[in-house]
Amino acid sequence: MQDLLVGFISRYVSLTEDEKKAIVSLDIFRSVKKGTTLLKEGQHSKDLYFVIKGCIRTYYIIDGEEKTTAFYTEMDALTPHCAISNAPSDYFISAVEDSIISVGEMEVNIFEKFPKFETLCRILSEELLAKQQINFDEFKTSSPEQRYLNLLQKRPDLVQRVPQHQLASFLGIKPQSLSRLRARILEKSKR
Amino acid sequence: MQDLLVGFISRYVSLTEDEKKAIVSLDIFRSVKKGTTLLKEGQHSKDLYFVIKGCIRTYYIIDGEEKTTAFYTEMDALTPHCAISNAPSDYFISAVEDSIISVGEMEVNIFEKFPKFETLCRILSEELLAKQQINFDEFKTSSPEQRYLNLLQKRPDLVQRVPQHQLASFLGIKPQSLSRLRARILEKSKR
DNA sequence: TAAATTCGTTCACTTAAGTTAAGAAATGAA
DNA sequence: TTCATTTCTTAACTTAAGTGAACGAATTTA
């Protein structure tokens, strides 16, 4: 299981045997049940998450309503804002399915101890920023229906494994609108 | 003018006099007229931009229509995807106003020559990623009207200095809808 | 297993954005 | 300065999302 994490990191920076051992010893592997909350709004935490198996999500609670903004599945890394900004978190993180995750700690002087880790973080942030930018641009420039069809192409698994009402807020609409939109698409494809 | 760039960088990493000189000598300051295109779709470029004065924007052309996705004003840094991914750009960058920008080059071994530059890039990417994430989340969880009111709070200058049709696509709507929405808000505030 | 809650869908109705078109105002170029 | 183009607004109509409610299905929990 540790190999997956080491393998993931090795795609970005080459690691010595010692470094591999250090990572494995630093990281804790946690098995979490569906619905478990890993981080709550208002909490401080320096934890970084890497999904080995399963699915976790981030969501806000606005006017008592859950607004899911992101899903993280196998081989996805999640760095909560509060881990780098040391402000309290303004969102929640919880498990969509039974999952196995690796939880790392954001230590104060980690970059001095492991300069390679800074390179890894730079590359990951840059890559993520680029992806995020593209996602945002696509979101802005398309309608809810297009966004749903786009999701079907890019992350077909999500549509299957995630509850519809969570998907809806991820797409920026209400659950009823997602239902209707799907019925509309089905209707079109019949004709 | 160089001081602004050095000052900006100094907020993130401390610089020696030699490093300051190196930055100033590496960077080119360009004065660009309103409407000038700095980067076109399909082009390859390793240029990084830092806005000293004025405003530049990124936009896609989709079905012959311009879709503005971001604005960069004083003290904003813009790292185009193509500069880090070495794929051709899929968007345009152009000046909204007459602007003065600093154009840096993304060199191959820059991080080996200047380890501090890697720290700078990591911090900037992390910070930007966090901001971007929050922006995206806010966008998803609010209506066009809320987004416009939000923009009025957060970047009131943009609403003044940027053409309405560019603002509209930035808000994810059509120019006509923005006009109507503004009229609606005005109507509400009267009553 | 039974009751209670949550979830997904459908419906009717309301609200707001997209679309097409037209005209006025501002801007830029000859 | 004048003409042409672009930009902004308004309007009428169309389309789709929000809202509130209802109901069956699925899932939890007692």
Q: What average pLDDT does the structure give for chain B?
A: 93
Q: What is the pLDDT of residues B1-39, one digit of tens each?
A: 788 999 999 999 999 998 898 888 888 899 999 999 999
pTM above threshold 0.75: yes
Question: At residue B44, does pLDDT exceed 80?
Answer: yes
Strands across the sheet with A65-73, in order? A37-39, A92-95, A55-62, A65-73
CA of A162 to C1' of C2 (A): 28
Question: At residue B114, does pLDDT exceed 90?
Answer: no
pLDDT reported for residue A27? 81
Please state, for a pLDDT cut of 70, what percent of chain B lies above it.
99
CB burial of residue B2 (10 Å; 0-12, 13-18, 19+): middle
CA distance B102 to B48: 8
**Helices and strands (H, E) in chain A, number of each type:** 9, 8
CA distance A32 to A34: 7
The residue type at B32:
V
Residue B17 has a CB neighbour count (10 Å cut-off) of 7
Contact A60 B137 (CB under 8 A): yes
H-helix segments, chain B: 2-10, 17-26, 81-85, 110-113, 115-140, 144-154, 156-161, 164-170, 175-190
Taking CA atoms, what residue in B is nearest to A121? B122
Task: List CB contacts (< 8 A) between A172 and chain B.
Answer: 139-141
By a Cβ cutoff of 8 Å, what residues of chain A touch chain B? 60, 62, 67, 69, 79, 81, 84-85, 91, 111, 115, 118-119, 121-122, 125-126, 128-130, 132-137, 139-141, 169-170, 172
- The token duo for B118 is 């890697």
Question: At residue A191, does pLDDT exceed 70?
Answer: no
Q: What is the pLDDT of residues A12-43, one digit of tens each?
A: 999 999 889 888 888 889 999 999 999 999 99
Q: Which CATH class is domain A2-124?
A: mainly beta
User: Which of B69, B121, B126, B143 should one mutate to test binding to chain A, selecting the residue with the greatest count of A CBs within 10 A?
Assistant: B126
- What is the pLDDT averaged over residues A166-185? 97
CB burial of residue A22 (10 Å; 0-12, 13-18, 19+): middle
Question: At residue A58, does pLDDT exceed 90?
Answer: yes
A2-10: long-range contacts at Cβ-Cβ below 8 A with a sequence spacing of 24 or more? A2/A27, A2/A29, A4/A52, A4/A75, A5/A50, A5/A52, A5/A102, A8/A50, A8/A75, A8/A77, A9/A120
CA of A56 to C1' of C1 (A): 33
Question: At residue B190, does pLDDT exceed 70?
Answer: no
Helix (H, G, I), strand (E, B) or coil at B83: helix
Q: Is the CB of A175 under 7 A from strand D?
A: no
Closest CA relative to residue A145, chosen from A90, A188, A96, A83: A188
Question: At residue B178, does pLDDT exceed 90?
Answer: yes
H-helix segments, chain A: 2-10, 17-26, 81-85, 110-113, 115-140, 144-154, 156-161, 164-170, 175-190
pLDDT reported for residue B189? 78
Confidence of residue B191 (pLDDT cuts 50, 70, 90): low
pLDDT reported for residue A190? 67
Query: If you search the block for the tokens 């090795």, which residue do you land on?
Result: A10
Strands across the sheet with A77-78, in order? A28-32, A99-105, A47-53, A77-78
